[in-house]
Structure 1
Amino acid sequence: MFFFFLNYLRPNAIKGIFASLLLIITSLLSLATPYVLKIIIDDIFPSGNYRDLMNILMLLLGIYIIRILGNLLFEVLFTRINQETINDIRIDLFSSLLREKLGKLKKKRIGELVFLLKDDVETIQDGVSSFGLKIVNNGITIIGILIMLFVLNYKLTFLSLFVLPFIFISTKTFLPEIRKSFKKLQAKDSELHDFYFERIKNIRVIKSFNTYIREKKNATRLQRELIHYYVRISLIKGGSNHLTGFLIAIGPLIVLLYGGKQVFEGLMSLGALVAFLQYLNKLYNPMLNLINSYNELERAKVSMARVYEHFQDNIITPSSFSNPKEFESLFLKNVSISYNNKHVFEEVNLGFQRGNVYGIIGASGSGKTSLIDLICGFLEPCKGTVLMNNVQGIRNISNWNQFYALIEKENQIFSGDVITNIKYGITKTNPQEIKNAIGLSGLFEVINNLEHKEHTVLTNNASILSDGQKQRISFSRAFLKKPPILIIDEATSSLDSKTEELLFENIRRELKESLIIFITHRTASLKYCDKIYEITDRKINLV
């Protein structure tokens, strides 16, 4: 799983190598200051040569300038690598979610999916690109410091590093609890995302039922639970870091105790001791950074597991697909569906021929939506198959979505202007075709009354339009597509009878060779249908 996400760094491999080289150079240059200080204390001050002092300080200034420029360039490269990695993972995840079966997506909250795309992806990036570069940066720094410590006094180095096994044990002890806490935190954060999304979406219900105080209490409860998890993680991480810091702080005490004795005995110069202490202090931050990086990696692993499952379920094998061109009929052969051990359809055999209008009726929960999901390929039957032209299963047709248009009762409007919404999903159009589609759906008067006509920008809920006007935009889209199969799922529920009748006259005339499937609760609307099927007792029967 980790290597799967590691592959996202490949497009930026050259930039990553260059950024790593910059890190190595700046890390090595940072080691110069303590040794230069040793030279000043042990060699320049005793000789009293001010010119030498000026020269070495100028050298030090040059090193500082190079480090600043190197760090600046690294930060630019690092930001670009980070953002491109986030972009690639997020786009692939978004594409994978769009292909995912509706049955699985329905089990996820919308806020959770948004959290996956935003927060989890950024957390993964920290675990993939940031972790690797931090290992390089801190690793090189630690190795360089250890070399300088051994050069200055190898005995003192061994004494000052005796705490390392205790640091490892401390980190290992806290790690399981950190991992578990991160998992709970991300689940609660995801729940909070979904809560706010759902409440804003249903704000009309909240206003109409005057539940402001109740929803404020719900939000407060969720936020407090989230705070609890953040505080818990802070306590665990803080305990781990401070215990590690305490163990590391013992090092300088040992150095001063043993090194000071050597200075008094003339076995070690004062400059060497000062430089040794500075190097030892420089060793602490990289070590703590490595420990924190490991904690970040553990958090990233939780996000990786959450995201990875969506990549795994949507692997496409083009070789198993075909692309038929002509549609004649649709047939459900021995189809059975069940949800959570509840049977929806059992051994259903049903045929639809192009050129006919079929009405589908049934009580709420009888399976009308499941039938539509089957026909669209959103849902796979537990048994049986859905055949095109009584020969080929639709699951093996890669361009199946080009054969149908689905118009639903719910809002099908995207953020953008009216004309963009009408053309959505249709690649080849001309102005005359668009004009015809607008006319066939009865939208001319609606558009002419808008401030900027067809270029009026709509939000995703299109609040400036009525529900019936939104449905007519969906019908315009269908007229423009001219699909062999048109599925109308209660999409005339907000239209008056006169507008509905006009639409069906146009559908009959313009899509006379298409298969029309019409789901409705209006008995009067069934007059437009050639045949009517009723769903009852897990069967579909001709009325």
Structure 2
Amino acid sequence: MLKKFLKYYKPYKFLFFTDMFCALMVSIIDLSFPLILSYLSKYFFTKSRDVIIHGIFYIGIALVILYIIKYFCQYFIASWGHIMGARMENKMRSDLFEHLQKLSFSYYDENNTGQMMSKIISDLFDISELAHHGPENVFISAIKIIGSFIILLFINVKMTFILLVITMIMVVFSIFKNKKMGAIFLDNRRKMANINSAVQDSLVGIRTVKSFANERLEEKKFDKSNREYLDSRVNSYKIMGEFIAGNAFFEGILYVSIIVSGAIFIVNGSLRVTDLAIYALYINIFINPIDILINFAEQFQKGYAGFRRFMEVVETCPEIVDRKDAKELKHITGDIEYKDVSFSYDGKQDVLKDINIKIEAGENIALVGPSGAGKTTICSLLPRFYDVTKGSITIDGEDIRNIKVHSLRNLIGIVQQDVYMFSGTVKDNIKYGKPDASDEEIIRAAKEANIHDYIMTLDDGYDTYIGERGTRLSGGQKQRLSISRVFLKNPPILILDEATSALDNESERFIQNSLEKLSKNRTTIVIAHRLSTIRNADEIIVIDNDGIRERGNHSELLNKNGLYAEYYNMQFEGIETI
């Protein structure tokens, strides 16, 4: 874990070593002051009045120069040391976000967005504080403790060994308490992530919350997470209290031992009173870094817990990755074939079993059947949102696992029932289909999706802000914007996943016209519950929990009087409609 943490210092070696050099200078200056005072007391202040008055001016200038050096060193530590930590945090956040983009749908099926947000924001802030203060605090403290200990040995060996024994007991106590704090601070992070999760769920679904008048229920759910976090914090503060109070007790014992042993050594004549005064000054220098390390323990445990959670995500391997010999496909005809395809989400129970479907280039294929039969899963396997458990899927005869994922997904356009609009303008959302598109291309795509005229009625036209998740648009308007994205992308293969099932009849007519334009000359797979939208499909495949039950065109399936006819009659009550 330490090696993984240290690699983030690599791009900032100059800043890091300069920070450590400044820390060394600050420590040396702090250690030198009691030595200078001891020297002056023994050898300078005993001289004549004229020598003292003449020399103290130069000594004062030298001390001021020392403290000017300390000023610039501390400025560098406080400013550029923090900047280094912030840059490391920035790199970690980029790495984490980039890795989250690579992770497969299965990861998002199992993890909550609020918890991921916690790792990106609060965890990484604690890590950056550790990255800056960790090496610096440990380095300065180590120099001061070792340096003061050596000087104390020169003053009085016996007293210093008494000091060492008490310090070792203090170290053992600190290590024991630190282990307990590590587990508790990791629990703090998890509980904080649960709060973020509860807030995210409630705020994203605020319209549903209010429509069911369930504000009180959401408050109770939040209070539960909030209370668990409070309990975890209470436990952490209790152990921190034991840690800090225990170390303060041992510090007090250090002072007591110095006073008692110092008095005995003065009586014995092995220690001068002036040496005891200097010894007391160095005891402060010896204890001060111990105090810093005690306070640093909390920061270390928070940062370490955050880094562990960070590494849990970064070390999660994406399930969908390019093979070493994967190739780019840019121009295809659009022939698709599912060969003996089986799939399961958990590796145990098959959602699909031995599915065989062949789609010629330019054909329009419809998938029909009850919810949960695997229609969406069949479509999700084509762009490799998930990988087949058994069998293969080919495009123009090439196994999709031999095609680079980015290249494969660029060949496929998807229009879903649940349309996601990004926070931004109308233009931003259309442009998502082709980020480098010109304004002319965007307008052309909007016209083909029958949404241009509506956009022009908005106050700012294509520059109109549509709100978070497109809250200022109706369902039909969002759907047409999503269709314009696909027009702009212009893929040879199209998947329509119940694209009109949640719309009113008028919106459906508009969108159906747009979809017919979009499907022209493209290999199209349609998932539909409204059977009126697929009557002209080249082939309709009826799927239930047992797999493919029927296939044929609309007329053939009605004449079979099987499952498709049953669905059709249920929707239209036996009345033929056009």
1:373 to 372, 376, 380: 380
Identify the residue that residue 34 of structure 1 maps to in structure 2.
34
Identify the residue that residue 325 of structure 1 maps to in structure 2.
330
Kindly provide the amino acid, as one letter, of the partner of residue 456 in structure 1: T
Tell which deviates more after alignment, 385-394 or 194-203. 385-394
1:107 to 107, 110, 115: 110
Identify the residue that residue 13 of structure 1 maps to in structure 2.
13
Identify the residue that residue 532 of structure 2 maps to in structure 1.
524
Kindly provide the amino acid, as one letter, of the partner of residue 326 in structure 2: F
The 1:3/1:528 distance shift into structure 2, 3 A limit, reads farther
The 1:43/1:177 distance shift into structure 2, 3 A limit, reads same
**In structure 1, C-alpha distance between the alignment counterparts of 2:15 and 2:64, rounded to whole Å:** 28
Q: Is the 8 A contact 1:377 1:395 kept in 2?
A: no
The root-mean-square deviation of aligned C-alpha atoms, in Å, is 2.5
Identify the residue that residue 208 of structure 1 maps to in structure 2.
211
Aligned residues: 543
Correspondence 1:352-391 to 2 at 5 A: 352-391=359-398
Q: CA deviation at 1:211?
A: 2.2
Q: CA deviation at 1:194?
A: 0.3
SS of 1:461 mapped into structure 2: helix
Q: Is the 8 A contact 1:161 1:251 kept in 2?
A: no
**In structure 2, C-alpha distance between the alignment counterparts of 1:228 and 1:248, rounded to whole Å:** 30
Identify the residue that residue 23 of structure 1 maps to in structure 2.
23
Identify the residue that residue 278 of structure 1 maps to in structure 2.
281
The 1:220/1:502 distance shift into structure 2, 3 A limit, reads closer
SS of 1:120 mapped into structure 2: helix
Summarize deviations over 1:107-132 as a string: whole Å, max 9, x none: 00111111121122233334545422
The 1:71/1:449 distance shift into structure 2, 3 A limit, reads same
Summarize deviations over 1:475-504 as a string: whole Å, max 9, x none: 111001101112122222354445544544
Q: Is the 8 A contact 2:184 2:232 kept in 1?
A: yes
Q: Is the 8 A contact 2:479 2:511 kept in 1?
A: no
Correspondence 1:27-176 to 2 at 5 A: 27-47=27-47, 49-176=52-179
Identify the residue that residue 226 of structure 2 maps to in structure 1.
223
Identify the residue that residue 340 of structure 2 maps to in structure 1.
334
Q: Is the 8 A contact 2:322 2:404 kept in 1?
A: no
Q: Is the 8 A contact 1:488 1:517 kept in 2?
A: yes
Q: CA deviation at 1:32?
A: 2.4
Q: Is the 8 A contact 1:394 1:400 kept in 2?
A: no
**Structure 1: runs of 5 or more not aligned:** none
Q: CA deviation at 1:264?
A: 5.3
SS of 1:457 mapped into structure 2: coil
The 1:2/1:331 distance shift into structure 2, 3 A limit, reads farther
Kindly provide the amino acid, as one letter, of the partner of residue 37 in structure 1: L
Identify the residue that residue 306 of structure 2 maps to in structure 1.
303
Identify the residue that residue 414 of structure 2 maps to in structure 1.
406
**Structure 2: runs of 5 or more not aligned:** 553-578
Q: CA deviation at 1:294?
A: 5.1
SS of 2:230 mapped into structure 1: helix
**In structure 1, C-alpha distance between the alignment counterparts of 2:145 and 2:522, rounded to whole Å:** 72
**In structure 1, C-alpha distance between the alignment counterparts of 2:286 and 2:513, rounded to whole Å:** 81
Correspondence 1:181-196 to 2 at 5 A: 181-196=184-199
Tell which deviates more after alignment, 119-128 or 277-286. 119-128
**In structure 1, C-alpha distance between the alignment counterparts of 2:58 and 2:256, rounded to whole Å:** 34
Summarize deviations over 1:61-95 as a string: whole Å, max 9, x none: 33223212211112221111111111111111111
**In structure 1, C-alpha distance between the alignment counterparts of 2:150 and 2:45, rounded to whole Å:** 26
**In structure 2, C-alpha distance between the alignment counterparts of 1:287 and 1:489, rounded to whole Å:** 63
Q: Is the 8 A contact 1:450 1:456 kept in 2?
A: yes
Higher-Rg structure is 2
**In structure 2, C-alpha distance between the alignment counterparts of 1:425 and 1:405, rounded to whole Å:** 9
1:350 and 2:353 aligned: no
Identify the residue that residue 452 of structure 2 maps to in structure 1.
444
Q: Is the 8 A contact 2:152 2:279 kept in 1?
A: yes
Tell which deviates more after alignment, 317-326 or 238-247. 317-326
Tell which deviates more after alignment, 120-129 or 7-16. 120-129
Q: Is the 8 A contact 1:504 1:528 kept in 2?
A: no
SS of 2:379 mapped into structure 1: helix
Q: CA deviation at 1:6?
A: 2.0
1:397 to 384, 404, 409: 404
Tell which deviates more after alignment, 139-148 or 88-97. 139-148
Q: Is the 8 A contact 1:440 1:503 kept in 2?
A: no
Q: Is the 8 A contact 1:37 1:271 kept in 2?
A: no
Q: CA deviation at 1:28?
A: 1.1
**In structure 1, C-alpha distance between the alignment counterparts of 2:323 and 2:77, rounded to whole Å:** 41
Identify the residue that residue 523 of structure 2 maps to in structure 1.
515
1:537 to 534, 542, 545: 545
Summarize deviations over 1:37-73 as a string: whole Å, max 9, x none: 3345444554453454454344333322321221111
Kindly provide the amino acid, as one letter, of the partner of residue 241 in structure 1: I
**In structure 2, C-alpha distance between the alignment counterparts of 1:134 and 1:262, rounded to whole Å:** 34
**In structure 1, C-alpha distance between the alignment counterparts of 2:163 and 2:351, rounded to whole Å:** 71
Q: Is the 8 A contact 2:99 2:314 kept in 1?
A: yes
1:455 to 456, 459, 463: 463
The 1:140/1:59 distance shift into structure 2, 3 A limit, reads same
Q: CA deviation at 1:393?
A: 2.7
**In structure 2, C-alpha distance between the alignment counterparts of 1:410 and 1:510, rounded to whole Å:** 18
Summarize deviations over 1:229-266 as a string: whole Å, max 9, x none: 11111111221222122223222222222223444565
**In structure 1, C-alpha distance between the alignment counterparts of 2:325 and 2:118, rounded to whole Å:** 33
Kindly provide the amino acid, as one letter, of the partner of residue 339 in structure 1: Y
Q: Is the 8 A contact 2:417 2:499 kept in 1?
A: yes
State the TM-score, normalizing by the size of structure 1: 0.92
Q: Is the 8 A contact 2:412 2:493 kept in 1?
A: yes
**In structure 2, C-alpha distance between the alignment counterparts of 1:90 and 1:103, rounded to whole Å:** 22
The 1:431/1:317 distance shift into structure 2, 3 A limit, reads closer
Q: Is the 8 A contact 1:42 1:269 kept in 2?
A: no
The 1:382/1:401 distance shift into structure 2, 3 A limit, reads same
**In structure 1, C-alpha distance between the alignment counterparts of 2:467 and 2:26, rounded to whole Å:** 49
SS of 1:372 mapped into structure 2: helix
**In structure 1, C-alpha distance between the alignment counterparts of 2:65 and 2:208, rounded to whole Å:** 66
